[in-house]
Structure 1
């Protein structure tokens, strides 16, 4: 082999190794140990009163899953728009937050908002109408969905199948830390928080760092505002830990993390 061929072969090997090294370093979590997504459901007043200011003060961004019919959306549109301008995601939590009233413990579900009485087309149309509303607020078309009450089926049919092209991904309510290969973009795991301490929240993050996985927090009330609640001090403790370890933890809205995962999966031939 000539010297020229040897040099070319060595250059090709070096480029291949460099590319592999970059891919490993970049990874699915933006080159960091793990990804943490902060999600807040139901378009509550405390989101604007407590959460957005807390996130902004530490330059963190989250995802707020808005119910299209929420009076807090209607009454405070300019504030939601400003939150979106600062990089927070306004996610879709359906128009009426329908839940399956046929399941045990669902006495709170009204006949008008009983998902088990919906047709597939009604569920899909209401979700799409909410997307139209959200685009009118933030001007964006890429976003994610969160299943109200975690309910995914109507009469045994997964209604999100008709919505996959409308969203980058959908967040569910099953707890668990997952590496990229195990993430189902149609039902992303999350930890529903209700009364846990700041130490508990931070320990989940540390587990995600060690296992190099995705961690999604699901909050409702923060300092009140909902029956499912986390104390302001615990929430603040979590945010401060995330900010202090930003070199190791990728904290981003769900839409950005889902877009990264989708691209990684497609690049590796994954289908989920």
Structure 2
């Protein structure tokens, strides 16, 4: 082998090594998130994850009935290393936006104050800490809204949270410039198992992280995916775990912070 070919070979090896380091020595990262504290998450999703020893992130609305009425079960979910994450106390959204007829006057971000939403997020953190004993927490913006009466509340909550999930459908790169307080995710509604798997394969090809945003799984929400499609995705993740890092949102965010510091 000539010197030039040897150097090219070594360069490729180093590039692959660095490439693989981005996601815990895997080709990509997958984060499974589930919003709104639904009964189906406890009844269907958690058993499905546990059967394959996969972990999920549950963005919980603390005033929701399936949360307040099933606290011991959510405590068990946390004890099994799933992430209990903050999705506010009452799930307020901006009713001034198009298609928001479901927003009630009492919980309309268009008439909130930054103090009110911040206090509700802090209260939800306290409720979750009572279950899992943890002080570090991540957050998901209800309806993807980051403003209160037209004013951003993002800076006001950074001190309370490790990271936050948005709703823009993008594959996330592990770069120091990635905004960890508005990480993109793909909202799932009606996709087949093959379509979900194809999304993961794209993350593998691009050395990216994909964050799935689920609501209903087998029902209970207008945004829904079938149990079969969800199961097929989980089985693919398990089968390919040598190449895919399936992790919680908080662990992914911490990893990105660590690697970002190392790259500086």
TM-score by length of 1: 0.89
Give 2:64's aligned residue: 70
SS in 2 for 1:217: strand
Q: Kindly tell me the number of residue pairs found equivalent between the two proteins.
A: 251
Give 2:188's aligned residue: 193
2:229 to 228, 234, 238: 234
Give 2:26's aligned residue: 32
SS in 2 for 1:112: helix
SS in 2 for 1:72: helix
Give 2:207's aligned residue: 212
Q: CA RMSD in A?
A: 1.6
Give 2:161's aligned residue: 167
CA change 1:157–1:265 in 2 (3 A) is farther
SS in 1 for 2:31: strand
1:48 aligns with 2:42: yes
Superposed displacement of residue 21, structure 1: 8.0
SS in 1 for 2:252: helix
2:106 to 97, 112, 118: 112
- The separation in 2 between residues aligned to 1:56 and 1:32, in whole angstroms, is 22
SS in 1 for 2:33: strand
Give 1:11's aligned residue: none
The list of structure 1 runs, each at least 4 consecutive aligned residues, that deviate by more than 4 angstroms after superposition, is 20-23
Matches within 5 A, 1:238-249: 238-249=233-244
CA change 1:209–1:21 in 2 (3 A) is closer
Superposed displacement of residue 30, structure 1: 0.5
- Stretches of structure 1 that go unaligned for 5 or more consecutive residues are 1-16
Give 2:85's aligned residue: 91
Superposed displacement of residue 171, structure 1: 0.3
- The separation in 2 between residues aligned to 1:38 and 1:127, in whole angstroms, is 22
TM-score by length of 2: 0.92
* Contact 2:109–2:149 (Cα < 8 Å) also in 1: no
- The separation in 1 between residues aligned to 2:66 and 2:242, in whole angstroms, is 35
Superposed displacement of residue 158, structure 1: 1.7
Larger Rg computed on CA atoms? 1
- The separation in 2 between residues aligned to 1:224 and 1:25, in whole angstroms, is 39
- Stretches of structure 2 that go unaligned for 5 or more consecutive residues are 1-10
- The separation in 2 between residues aligned to 1:265 and 1:156, in whole angstroms, is 31
SS in 1 for 2:101: coil
Give 1:155's aligned residue: 149
